[in-house]
Amino acid sequence: METFVPRCAGMDVHQKEIVVCTIIGSTDDDIQKETKSFSTLTKSLFDLLKWLEDKEIIHLAMESTGIYWKPVYNILEGYFDITLANAQRIKNVPGRKTDVSDAEWIAKLLRHGLIEKSFVPSQDLRELRDLTRLRKKWIGNLTAEKNRISKVLESSNIKLGSVISDIFGVSGRRLLNHLVEKGYLDQKDVNASIHHCLRKKAETISESLFGTLNEHQMFMIRSSWNHIEYLERSIQDLESRIDSLVQFHQEEKDILLTIPGIKEHTVACIIAEIGTDMTQFPSSRHLASWAGVSPGNNESAGKKKVLKASKETRI
């Protein structure tokens, strides 16, 4: 088989240990193999870097397993041509049992050009991606806390959600603030809290707030409400950080905003997930596969099975 990379290394990365196999030589007759293990501690990773440099290794490959590859990639990035491989696509033949053979198999595949690179964005885009994904997570937590308050209110027969379309809108928040502070609301509190467009519902709102809240339920509401306020402040700080990073991609941002339905937060997510350099994707089909919107074709003996979206390795 033809050799494309005469000096390469394959790495099998685990939580506590990295097994590295180097293969040097243009033909099978003069091939040189060496396998060595390193700890995943930072000092050992720099020892790994020096060892690979001493061997004049230029190309190396490793599996994208979990998050264990990330600290290794961060340290070796910029020194070598790193191929991050989809673990499902480089499985060895049956019978492979040791980590040494894992690393050697990866090195052999890289040597013969049989590993397809996974898209790994630049450092600034990886940081932006961390922030946009964290924002999504926190918004999910915020929604969960709002649902929890709604459930407690319904359990205590407070029907505010049946009278006001959004109990976490301006008027609803004022009412909840009074409820958390005092434990009850009278007609005066209701009149002072609701927006003028809800004046005609003032009496109904007051009646909907008459329930059977006990101390335990008040504690639940206060706890969730405090968490909501904390999450909202955190999300606001996070969005400011995201906006500062997206400013470095202002041209791409302006183009994406011309798409109907695309808002600024969506733009940040798009840039973070696919980057701004479309040469990373050989075609629009590869980009669609990366985004998980490319339907697969599973057909055998003239029968089509259930179609599932094909998806490339997500980092």
Domain of residue 138, CATH code: 1.10.287.4070
Q: Domain of residue 312: give its range.
A: 281-315
Q: Does 234 lie in the same domain as 128?
A: yes
- Does one domain contain both 101 and 137? no
**One domain, residues 75 and 188:** no
206 located within any domain: yes
Residues 173 and 234 in one domain: yes
Q: Is residue 179 part of a domain?
A: yes
CATH of the domain at 39: 3.30.420.10
Is pLDDT above 80 for 223?
yes
- Residue range 26-75, pLDDT digits in tens: 887 788 999 999 999 999 999 999 999 999 999 999 988 788 999 999 99
Q: Does residue 82 sit in the same domain as residue 22?
A: yes
Give the chain's domain count.
3
Co-location of 93 and 39 in the same domain = yes
Confirm whether 67 is domain-assigned. yes
Highest-scoring range by mean pLDDT, 106-110, 114-118, 187-191 = 106-110
Shared-domain flag, residues 100 and 45: yes
Same domain membership, residue 290 and residue 239:
no
- What proportion of the chain, given as a percentage, has pLDDT over 90? 45
Say whether both 93 and 133 belong to one domain. no
Asked, for residue 107, whether it belongs to a domain, the answer is yes
- In sequence order, what DSSP letters do the residues of 106-171 get, joined into one string? HHHHHHTT--PPPP---HHHHHHHHHHHHHHHHHHHHHHHHHHHHHHHHHTT--HHHHSS-TTSHH
Helix, strand, or coil (residue 241): helix
Q: Which amino acid belongs to residue 158?
A: I
Where is the domain boundary, 225, 245, 265?
245
- How does residue 270 score in pLDDT terms, banded at 50, 70 and 90? very high
pTM, full prediction:
0.78
Residue 11 lies in a domain: yes
Phi, psi at residue 159, to the nearest 5°? -100, 35
Spatial CA neighbour of 272 closest among 140, 65, 123: 123
Looking at the chain, the whole-number percentage of residues with pLDDT higher than 70 is 89
Answer yes or no: is pLDDT of 313 > 50: no
Q: Is residue 116 part of a domain?
A: no
Instruction: Kindly list the distances between the CA atom of residue 268 and the CA atoms of 208, 251, 313, in Å, as whole numbers in the listed order.
Output: 41, 13, 21
Q: Is 10 helix (H, G, I), strand (E, B) or coil?
A: strand
Indicate whether 119 belongs to any domain: no
Asked whether residue 267 is assigned to any structural domain, the reply reads no
Residue 307's pLDDT band (boundaries 50, 70, 90)?
A: low
* 134 shares its domain with 27: no
100-104's contacts with Cβ under 8 Å and 24+ in sequence apart are 100/19, 100/21, 100/35, 102/10, 102/12, 102/19, 103/10, 103/11, 103/12, 103/19, 103/20, 103/21, 103/35, 104/10, 104/21, 104/23, 104/33, 104/35
User: Averaged over 275-295, what is the pLDDT?
Assistant: 82
Domain C-terminal end among 245, 268, 298: 245
For residues 234 and 144, membership in a common domain is answered with yes
Token representation of residue 271? 């840039």
Backbone torsion region of residue 75, taken as left when φ is above 0, otherwise alpha when ψ lies between -120 and 50, otherwise beta? alpha
> What's the one-letter identity of residue 61?
A
Indicate if the pLDDT at residue 267 is higher than 80.
yes
Angle between helices 215-246 and 123-155 (to 10 degrees): 160
Whether residues 226 and 130 share a domain: the answer is yes
Among the candidates 192, 225, 245, a domain finishes at 245
